[in-house]
Amino acid sequence: MTDDAVPSSPARPQARSPRGFIDRRARDLAAERKILSAVAEVYERHGFEALDTGAFEYADALGKFLPDADRPNEGVFALQDDDDQWMALRYDLTAPLARFAAQNWESLPKPFRRYAFGPVWRNEKPGPGRYREFWQCDADTVGSARPEADAEIIAMAVAGLEAAGLPAGSAVVKINNRKLLNGLMSAAGVASEAQKLTVLRAVDKLDRLGPDGVRLLLGEGRKDESGDFTKGAGLSAAAAERVLAFTAAGAGDRSATLSALANVVGGSAEGDEGLAELAAIDAALSGLGVGPDRAAFDPAVVRGLEYYTGAVFEAELLLQTTDERGQPMRFGSIGGGGRYDDLVARFTGERTPATGFSFGVTRLAAALKAAGRDLAADARGPVVVLVLDQARMADYMAVAGELRAAGIAAEVYLGTSGMRPQMKYADRRLSPVAVIIGGDEFAAGTVTLKDLDLGRELAAGVTDNAAWRAERPGQLTAPRAELVAAVRRIVDAQAGGGAA
């Protein structure tokens, strides 16, 4: 390089979010906080205690999510600690609970009932609506094998979803039992685990393909619209019809469904055990006042059956939903869970019964929004105190301090722009009120308040700029001593949907 050459500047990093990670602003966070606050109140009312485990777990504690590789980072985000042990960001909230229960079992009340919420991380390929980081909320009972423990979790899930903003009857928790499915497999002559999984995958497509499509997948196979062929389970015609009769048994109420199921799987030891558990769940749900419109038996529910050991349940949104273009869409599942009696045993060697329900907080907020129930619709920013005289900054700060002391969120505009950009700033902050104190107001001992919601509403009917300036829609003047009371009237009127 010559003496007069100009050294090249370092390359600037590109401002971009990592794939599968999203930035969320106040409105999204407000909606999720409302959900969590409402659900936590329900869970605590049912006697569940809050628990927060760390973001990292030792990789071997994640169980089924740990790949067989020297570097365990497939499916999880892992790193090696300075003691050469692999740690991974938690994949869900259940595996940390199993580790915690095993580690503290002697000192815990039994059964142990806990709820938890927080971010989880999955090292998977991101896609539309599929992120590598998202929030979950779980409730679990560890240490009770009673079907009533399942019923309580189901009833609590129903109450939690309704408290979060879903009207009664707008979602249903569908319930099945792995033992029934095992009894069905025996009755249908399904021998191998591979064939069993193929049958279950076929049943899982019932909503999308209908009985005819599932019948093909239970038999030799099915060719889709693109011409791709999916090999079937190879069941006989009679066995396939038996499976379809099982999935169709959920057409009535819970009692009728049990009777129909008994005709299909009754007689096998495991099938009868599953029927008895569902009968106990039905009785408990009835005692808790949860009818079949909110919790129904559905034999077509197939959910992680290599993981669950008994009851399985899935919450489905029934409300009509629309996508971002306003087109009707089926939202589907918004949460689920079931009984998993083998998870704690990975640590202790002793089978420990457990059951729980989980939902994605971000997904539930999205479901509510898609159904026209946006919890962030009324999210507001702070009252904005405009700065019209730089020499009076201390006075403006005093105004904000007075509002904050009264419990009203407020901020002083700290930019350098004039009044019009400041008003635009207040609009972008979703501020309910702009406080305007200029030379005239200081001299008169008054404040001018701009009700921004009312101003927008009134301005919509004013077509002449001169008239708009003369009328100053949504604007009022109050004595300085009455600042807090006047602002509160406006804020309360906006919250109540009326004018001040």
The pLDDT of residue 127 is: 78
pLDDT > 60? residue 472: no
C-alpha 54/C-alpha 161 separation (Å) is 26
The mean pLDDT value for 63-81 works out to 67
Residue 468: pLDDT band with limits 50, 70, 90: very low
Q: Which residue has the higher pLDDT, 459 or 271?
A: 271
pLDDT at 278 exceeding the cut of 80: yes
User: Tokens in use for 346?
Assistant: 């990975």
Residue 251 pLDDT > 80: no
pLDDT reading at 153 higher than 50: yes
- Secondary structure E strands in 179-329: 221-223, 229-231, 295-297, 311-317, 321-322, 328-329
Q: What is the pLDDT of residue 459?
A: 47
State which of 142-146, 216-220, 323-327, 451-455 shows the largest mean pLDDT. 142-146
| pTM for the whole structure | 0.83
Contact 382, 434 (CB under 8 A): no
Determine the pLDDT at residue 363.
Answer: 85
Q: Span 144-152, mean pLDDT?
A: 97
* Distance (Å, whole) CA 45 – CA 316: 24
Burial track 357-369 (b if 16+ CB lie within 10 A, e otherwise):
bbbbbbbbbbbbb
Which DSSP string do the residues of 435-477 spell out, in sequence order? Answer: EE--HHHHHHTEEEEEEHHHHHHHHTT---HHHHHHH-TTEEE
Give CA–CA dist 26/212, Å, rounded.
47
Distance of alpha carbon 153 from alpha carbon 359, whole angstroms: 13
Q: Cis ω on the peptide bond leading into residue 111 (within 30° of 0)? A: yes
pLDDT at 50: 98
pLDDT of residue 462: 46
Average pLDDT estimate for 455-482? 65
Check residue 25 and give its pLDDT: 87
Burial label, 497 (beta-carbon count in 10 A; 0-12, 13-18, 19+): exposed
Cα distance between residue 52 and residue 387, in whole Å: 44
Q: How far apart are the first and last CA of the chain?
A: 72
Residues in the chain, total: 500
Task: Write down the pLDDT at residue 499.
Answer: 44
pLDDT band at 333 (very low <50, low <70, confident <90, very high): confident
Percent of the chain whose pLDDT exceeds 70: 89
Question: Would you give the DSSP letter of residue 75?
Answer: B
Contact 447, 437 (CB under 8 A): yes
- Ordered domains of the chain (ranges, CATH): 26-370 (3.30.930.10), 383-496 (3.40.50.800)
pLDDT above 70: residue 150: yes
Query: What is the overall mean pLDDT for the chain?
Result: 87
Selection from 7-21, 213-227, 271-285, 321-335 with the highest mean pLDDT: 271-285
Q: What are the angstrom distances between the C-alpha of 119 and each of 12, 30, 242, 376, 487? A: 31, 16, 42, 20, 37
CB 277 within 8 A of CB 353: no
